[in-house]
Copies of this chain bind each other. A is one copy, B any other.
Amino acid sequence: MKLVHDPIHGHIELDDFAVRLVDTPEFQRLRRITQLGLAFLAYPSARHTRFEHSLGTFHLAKKIAGYNPEIDDGAVYAALLHDLGHYPFSHTLETLYPRHEENTKWFIRHGEIGDAVRERYSLGEFLKFLKHPLVSGDIDADRMDYLVRDAYYTGAAYGLVDLDRLVRNLLWKDGMLIVREKGVIAAQNLLLARSMMYPTVYQHHVSKIAGSMLTKAVELEGIPFDEIRTMDEVDLIARLRASERAEVRELIAAIDSRRLYKRVLYTDKDPGEKAVDELRRELDAEFGHLVLVDYPPKPKFEEKNAFVRTETGLKRLSEVSPLVRSLVELKDTHWRWGVYARADVVERVKALVGKLLPLRD
């Protein structure tokens, strides 16, 4: 057994099998994958990594399972490994490559960590646990850890949730992790916290601009999936700095020195995917890597899988909590798409965008 100091949970206990999993190159690689990608350019203190988050998720999963002994312990170890496949800078590059969940499975199948897993589980069995409600539901150990941790590291005072009360009031029943009535307010606050962190941290424009720049650099460099999937942030940045293409070197130098592109357009008016694609083509033809179009998917706050046990049977959390219902209804509120350009071409880009997309406001 090993104890790890953690500012969020105090001490995290790792049993021998957890230590076995943590002490593999694949897991240690997570120390070099920043939890919030490039958000540190807006929140300098946000330097925490997927490594600490994975330990914290494991810790909460274990506590929840402690109150619900019927939960298979495989699900608890899956909580530890659920983020193994993240690319450098976490979600930033997921527009170019398959979702990280696929890569997590690949690591477990082919990495040294898979040997460790097989000492206790069949691989097929274990991979299924990655979809367990303990770690991939609407109210789960993953979300509970990251919201509180991200708030701590960004210094965002909001985002705090009564984790202890929530953990004590999760009930494992019929393959679902259900909230007891005494936990409704804590669960609601978890979702509220998420919606508060969304615009101020997760969708901060600095983070989005820098992310678009990095994505463009990686795209221009043409790093194949087979290479990116095992890279850490050192590998990626070093590769881009050493690129043969001047544009790539320019982009990574700009990120390094925080000389970011400016917003030419930043709006919640959605002209539709087709119009945006056309705009992207035109801008690309004219300005190349000096202009970036960032048109993210709409966020989901469906909360379809958050259930509450009430006296009159199971209900969706959104039925029980009017505030959660509002969150579901308001899910697009903070969505924005943008056009970003290097400072020296902003005016020219603005003119062209105005011509191509006259409906912009």
Check B152–A7 contact: CB distance below 8 A.
yes
Of all chain B residues, the one with the shortest Cβ separation from A199 is B185
The count of identical subunits is: 4
CB distance from A166 to the nearest CB of B (A): 10
Check B258–A156 contact: CB distance below 8 A.
no
CB distance from A236 to the nearest CB of B (A): 9
CB distance from A145 to the nearest CB of B (A): 12
Check B322–A326 contact: CB distance below 8 A.
yes
Q: B-facing mask of A184-227, CB < 8 A → 1, else 0?
A: 01000100100110011000000000000000000000000000
Provide the bound-state CA to CA distance between A160 and B237, in Å.
36
Do A168 and B11 contact each other (CB < 8 Å), given the known contacts A157-B160, A237-B234?
Answer: yes
Enumerate chain B residues within 8 angstroms of A5, measured Cβ to Cβ. Answer: 42-45, 154-156
Of all chain B residues, the one with the shortest Cβ separation from A242 is B238
CB distance from A148 to the nearest CB of B (A): 9
Enumerate chain B residues within 8 angstroms of A192, measured Cβ to Cβ. Answer: 192, 196
Q: B-facing mask of A42-57, CB < 8 A → 1, else 0?
A: 1111011101100100
CB distance from A123 to the nearest CB of B (A): 22
Check A161–B158 contact: CB distance below 8 A.
yes
Check B154–A7 contact: CB distance below 8 A.
yes
Is A279 close to B, CB under 8 A? Answer: no
Is A6 close to B, CB under 8 A? Answer: yes
Enumerate chain B residues within 8 angstroms of A155, measured Cβ to Cβ. Answer: 5-8, 10
Enumerate chain B residues within 8 angstroms of A51, measured Cβ to Cβ. Answer: 44
Of residues 288 through 331 on chain A, the ones whose CB sits less than 8 Å from some CB of chain B are 322-323, 326-327, 329-330
Enumerate chain B residues within 8 angstroms of A153, measured Cβ to Cβ. Answer: 7
Q: B-facing mask of A1-35, CB < 8 A → 1, else 0?
A: 00111111011000000000001110011011000
Enumerate chain B residues within 8 angstroms of A8, measured Cβ to Cβ. Answer: 155
Provide the bound-state CA to CA distance between A233 and B5, in Å.
24
Show 12 A/B contacts (Cβ-Cβ < 8 Å), sorted by A: A4-B44, A5-B154, A6-B155, A8-B155, A23-B257, A25-B256, A44-B51, A45-B52, A189-B196, A234-B234, A238-B238, A323-B327
Per CB-CB distance, the 3 closest pairs between chain A and chain B, nearest first, are A238-B238, A7-B155, A326-B326
